[in-house]
Amino acid sequence: MKIKPIIVSGTTLVCMLAGLAYSVAADIDKKLIERGRYLVITSGCNDCHTPGYAESAGKLPESQWLTGSAVGFQGPWGTTYPANLRITLNGLTEEQWLKRAHSPMRPPMPWFNLSQMTEKDLRAIYYFVRSLKPEGNAAPAYVPPGQAANTPFIEFVPKNLPVTAQLGK
């Protein structure tokens, strides 16, 4: 039996290779997004950034995740609100996200933990959150110390601590 060669035009070959590359890239993207989903869950992002998540023991559908909250956290720093990460990350480039993830943020955001993540993990979070598409409203604006917040808030003020404990000494 004689095998006949298959003749493929340059255009056909380019299209075949592009399709193969797209398939490989799509598989990598799925793995990256799934890694981001895992990190969002295990890092506790939903605890603050998804209303009702903690109260439901994490049993909210993914379609409701990371939409921010109008319930603030008030302490000596003022009143801060969990950002709608779906809007925030869709408004940032990947490089802007990496820079922000390594920058100090107001309490109670544990930015010092976020800044310790690898670049690969931060990129995975970025792509996962962006895969959810923008949904919901932006969180209320920061309220400086001494100004009244017009929303519900959780007060983060330790009571009956020695002065040295309050200063972190």
In a domain, 154, yes or no: no
In a domain, 111, yes or no: yes
In a domain, 43, yes or no: no
Domain that holds residue 107: 83-148
The number of domains in the chain is 1
In a domain, 5, yes or no: no
pLDDT at 168 exceeding the cut of 90: no
pLDDT at 68 exceeding the cut of 70: yes
In a domain, 132, yes or no: yes
Work out the pLDDT band at 84, boundaries 50, 70, 90. very high
In a domain, 93, yes or no: yes
pLDDT at 19 exceeding the cut of 90: no
In a domain, 75, yes or no: no
Q: Is 57 left (phi over 0), alpha (psi -120 to 50) or beta?
A: left
pTM, two decimal places: 0.78
